[in-house]
């Protein structure tokens, strides 16, 4: 069956790896590193070298379209990349295999490939074409996915948590907490007013951060109606798509295709990697999902055919320019104010946290701060870990990590919400084994044990495999993606 399926792969749709068959799983934390050596090697695992190209392909494959790539994110990608390679090595070591027959059964069992509850080769072919992937790549991807599942099951399968652990998980999620809150934004309000010279000084020191790359592209959607005068995604349409792709390889540009297929005039867009024009307005008529694809276009091959969400687009890169934004641009000033705000909040919060860690900030100091700054203490009762009526989820999650009578500083990821919190009282709860959602807490308990086992396995892998990261090459990759 696998051989017959492969006949569907003889088209242009061999460009991406489908995320639906990838299980995110990270074993590895950033480990040892070496400086120098082969600049084309990013990491060496037990003397096996992995190239920069492999790693950059990995980043481009999994990087979120709407997320800015920074140094920390690249470190995480490298951790994920190493974890993937370790899993492959472990699957090989344990001789985990999957026969063609078994893989065939898995493919036939996918609901996306069924028609009238039976496997349909036509549906499978349509799936491959519309998702820009060959049958061979899809099978290999699915094979890795299944091997990974078998390895994880080998490590942590068959777990049966005790009633004590199930009750403990239930209590952790459902205990009630009486807390007292001081809004630190109100405390810091006086420090968050900045003179113009302070803003100008920050801009002068960090001018390069306000240089923005803009891409100008011509853009045209290819629909069946435009190419074949028919609304269906039929063979004639895909043959036209194939022809366009072949002609792009031969160096034909967008104007050539407009004339050949009698297409409408292409639209021109100019935007940065956040999808904003030069006036910082968000583009309305350009698909957000295509912005990253535009930034991947090579200047030497400016015309590309892109498939996205069952739609096809012809895009031609017109020019790339770096523009220095000035301080009279309101968006620049807003960014500076945001950064200055964040710096003040980080510094002030760090000082309070240091005092708490040194055990020199007591409940007396908590009350005194409220009185001296004329900021009221708000009393709140949290009914459970999912009680977000007053505080947002990430704040509540932090509060539930600490014990009774503790003073803590909590904030969201952007430091827009910052609180000093005193956990006054915790009311524990007991679980009734007859509860209808007992199975939910049983599964959560299993997941907790599995996490502990995976962490233990992580330490085992660190000892088993010698892993060296080429720090110079890693820095080069960071510079490539960030600047």
What ranges do the domains of the chain cover? Answer: 2-157+458-482, 169-204+330-427, 211-324
pTM of the predicted protein model: 0.53
The pLDDT assigned to 192 comes to 83
Distance separating alpha carbons of residues 135 and 11, to the nearest angstrom: 10
Residues whose CB falls within 8 Å of the CB of residue 50, separated by 6 or more in sequence, listed in order = 41, 42, 43, 44, 81, 85
Contact 8, 128 (CB under 8 A): yes
Distance CA 383, CA 389 (A): 10
User: CA nearest 233: which of 307, 180, 288, 302?
Assistant: 307
pLDDT at 482: 66
**Helices 135-156 and 121-130: crossing angle, nearest 10°?**
90
Cβ-proximal residues to 140 (8 Å cutoff; 6+ apart), any chain? none
Contact 406, 423 (CB under 8 A): yes
350's tokens? 């760090």
Is the separation of the CB atoms in 133 and 17 below 8 Å?
yes
Q: What is the CATH number of domain 2-157+458-482?
A: 1.10.4030
Tokens 């004329």: give the residue.
374
Which own/partner pairs from 136-141 qualify as long-range (CB within 8 Å, at least 24 positions apart)?
136/6, 136/9, 137/9, 137/14, 137/17, 138/18, 138/21, 139/2, 139/5, 139/103, 139/107, 141/17, 141/18, 141/21, 141/22
pLDDT of residue 10: 38
> What is the per-residue pLDDT across 253-312, written as a single tens digit (0 to 9) for each?
888 888 888 888 888 888 888 888 887 788 888 888 788 888 888 888 888 888 877 788
pLDDT tens across the length of the chain (483 residues): 444 444 333 333 333 334 333 444 445 555 555 555 567 899 999 889 999 888 888 888 777 765 677 888 888 888 888 888 888 888 888 888 888 888 888 888 888 788 888 888 888 887 887 777 788 888 888 888 888 888 888 887 777 888 888 888 889 999 999 999 999 999 988 888 888 888 888 888 888 888 888 888 888 888 788 887 777 777 788 888 888 888 888 888 888 888 888 888 888 888 888 888 887 788 888 888 788 888 888 888 888 888 877 788 888 888 888 888 888 878 888 888 888 888 888 888 899 999 999 999 999 999 999 999 999 999 999 999 999 999 999 999 999 999 999 999 999 888 889 999 999 999 999 887 777 788 888 888 888 888 788 778 878 887 888 888 888 888 888 877 765
Q: In terms of DSSP bridges, do strands 48-51 and 33-34 run parallel, antiparallel, or are they unpaired? A: unpaired
- Provide CB contacts within 8 A for 19, sequence distance 6+: 62
| CA angle 182–183–188, rounded 5-degree value | 115
Distance CA 478, CA 236 (A): 44
Nearest to 315 by CA among 343, 291, 283: 291
b/e map 51-62, b = 16+ CB within 10 Å: ebeebbebbeee
Q: CA end-to-end span of the chain, whole Å?
A: 47
pLDDT, tens digit, 9 for 90 and up, residues 424-474:
999 999 887 777 788 888 888 888 888 788 778 878 887 888 888 888 888
Instruction: Using alpha carbons, select from 443, 445, 457, 471 the residue that is nearest to residue 25.
Output: 457
Determine the pLDDT at residue 390.
Answer: 94
Tokens of 26: 């990270």
Joined tokens for residue 270: 């100019």
């Amino acid at each position: 069956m696998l051989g017959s399926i492969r006949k569907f792969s003889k088209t242009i749709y061999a460009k991406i790896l489908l995320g639906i068959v990838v299980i995110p799983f990270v074993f590895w934390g950033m480990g040892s590193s070496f400086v120098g050596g082969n600049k084309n090697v990013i990491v060496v695992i037990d003397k096996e070298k992995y190239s920069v190209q492999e790693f950059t392909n990995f980043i481009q494959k999994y990087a979120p379209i709407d997320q800015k790539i920074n140094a920390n994110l690249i470190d995480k990608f490298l951790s994920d990349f190493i974890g993937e390679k370790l899993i492959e090595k472990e699957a090989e070591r344990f001789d985990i295999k999957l026969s063609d027959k078994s893989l065939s059964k898995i493919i036939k069992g996918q609901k996306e490939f069924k028609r009238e509850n039976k496997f349909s080769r036509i549906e499978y072919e349509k799936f491959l074409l519309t998702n820009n992937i060959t049958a061979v790549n899809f099978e290999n991807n699915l094979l890795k996915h299944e091997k990974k599942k078998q390895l994880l099951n080998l490590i942590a399968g068959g777990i049966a948590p005790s009633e004590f652990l199930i009750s403990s998980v239930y209590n952790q999620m459902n205990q009630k907490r009486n807390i007292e809150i001081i809004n630190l934004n109100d405390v810091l309000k006086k420090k968050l007013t900045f003179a113009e010279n302070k803003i100008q000084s920050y801009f002068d020191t960090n001018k390069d951060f306000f240089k923005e790359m803009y891409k100008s592209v011509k853009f045209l959607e290819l629909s069946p109606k435009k190419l074949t005068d028919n609304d269906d995604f039929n063979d004639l349409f895909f043959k036209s798509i194939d022809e366009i792709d072949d002609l792009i390889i031969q160096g034909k540009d967008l104007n050539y295709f407009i004339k050949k297929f009698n297409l409408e005039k292409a639209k021109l867009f100019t935007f940065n990697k956040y999808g904003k024009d030069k006036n910082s307005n968000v583009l309305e008529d350009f698909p957000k999902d295509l912005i990253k694809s535009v930034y991947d276009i090579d200047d030497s091959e400016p015309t590309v055919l892109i498939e996205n969400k069952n739609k096809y687009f012809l895009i031609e890169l017109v020019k790339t320019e770096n523009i220095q934004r000035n301080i009279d641009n309101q968006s620049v000033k807003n960014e500076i104010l945001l950064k200055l705000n964040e710096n003040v909040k980080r510094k002030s919060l760090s000082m309070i946290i240091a005092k708490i860690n040194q055990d020199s900030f007591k409940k007396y100091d908590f009350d005194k701060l409220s009185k001296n700054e004329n900021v009221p203490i708000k009393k709140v009762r949290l009914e459970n870990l999912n009680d977000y009526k007053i505080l947002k989820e990430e704040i509540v999650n932090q509060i539930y990590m600490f014990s009774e009578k503790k003073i803590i500083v909590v904030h969201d990821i952007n430091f827009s919400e910052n609180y000093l919190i005193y956990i006054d009282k915790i009311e524990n709860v007991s679980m009734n084994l007859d509860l209808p959602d007992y199975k939910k807490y049983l599964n959560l308990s299993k997941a907790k044990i599995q996490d502990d086992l995976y962490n233990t396995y992580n330490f085992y892998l660190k000892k088993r495999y010698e892993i060296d990261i080429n720090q110079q090459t890693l820095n080069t990759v960071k510079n490539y993606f960030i600047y």
